[in-house]
Amino acid sequence: MMELSAYRLLHWLQSWYIPGLLGIVYLCITSESIPLHPITDIVEGLALEYIPGISMDKLKPGIDVSEEKVEKISSAVLEGFCAIEAENCLLHNDIHTRNIVLREGNRSPVIIDFREVNIRNPEYSDEEWEHVVHRGSDTRYMRRLLVVPEVPGDGHWKRTVAHITTRSL
């Protein structure tokens, strides 16, 4: 399960920029007390930390969120993607504002939904992985989405397009 690998690789970002991984669950989907076949009768899933908040795509910048807070949120979102990118091990690959939950209260961003993740092949050199990342940088795509909304008329999350550099966290 690639999503599980993503959470394990990004373990130090859990409960900060991504939900915490609580465990793996196995659900029996048959009415039999003993599964007939472990592949078809059992579904594997992840138990993740619940993040009370709202998906970024449900809010309109400048209307539901003040302009000042919009800039802070969008900068924090980019910091989260930079932190993931700094790990040099995966690409999220499903970059949408619907995959960012803003926590209740402080509105800090949490990046969710790693089902489409691209895990770095362990045989790739740093140069080979850089070529893959350069062609599909999550941070670059998110920066573009924050400036140009997915739905026309939804407002801009980011007005300034400064180059974001990865910094030590």
Per-residue pLDDT at 85: 92
Establish if 119 belongs to a structural domain: yes
Residues 6+ apart with CB under 8 A from 161: 143, 147
Q: Between 61 and 102, whose confidence is greater?
A: 102
Residues 6+ apart with CB under 8 A from 97: 55, 56, 57, 145, 146, 150, 157
Tell me what the mean pLDDT of segment 115-137 comes to: 89
- What percentage of the chain has pLDDT greater than the value 70? 84
Write down the pTM of the prediction. Answer: 0.84
Establish if 41 belongs to a structural domain: no
Report how far residue 160's alpha carbon sits from residue 143's, in angstroms, rounded to the nearest whole number.
Answer: 10
The number of domains in the chain is 1
Q: Between 153 and 116, whose confidence is greater?
A: 116
Confidence of residue 41 (pLDDT cuts 50, 70, 90): confident
SS3 label, residue 101: strand
Establish if 25 belongs to a structural domain: no
CB atoms closer than 10 angstroms to residue 149: 16
Establish if 123 belongs to a structural domain: yes
Establish if 29 belongs to a structural domain: no
Per-residue pLDDT at 38: 66
Tell me how far the alpha carbon of residue 135 is from its chain's centroid. Answer: 18
Report how far residue 122's alpha carbon sits from residue 149's, in angstroms, rounded to the nearest whole number.
Answer: 35
Please give the residue range of the domain that contains residue 109.
51-147
The enclosing domain of 127 has a CATH number of: 1.10.510.10
Establish if 56 belongs to a structural domain: yes
Average pLDDT, the chain: 87
Backbone angles phi, psi at 48, to 5 degrees: -115, 155
- Whether residue 138 is predicted with pLDDT greater than 80 in this model: the reply is yes
pLDDT tens digits, one per residue of 49-98: 999 999 999 999 988 999 899 999 999 999 999 999 999 999 999 999 99
Backbone angles phi, psi at 90, to 5 degrees: -160, 165
CB 114 within 8 A of CB 92: yes
- Whether residue 19 is predicted with pLDDT greater than 90 in this model: the reply is yes
Looking at 2-93, list the stretches that DSSP marks H as alpha helix, in order from N- to C-terminal side.
Answer: 2-9, 67-86
Establish if 20 belongs to a structural domain: no
Establish if 138 belongs to a structural domain: yes
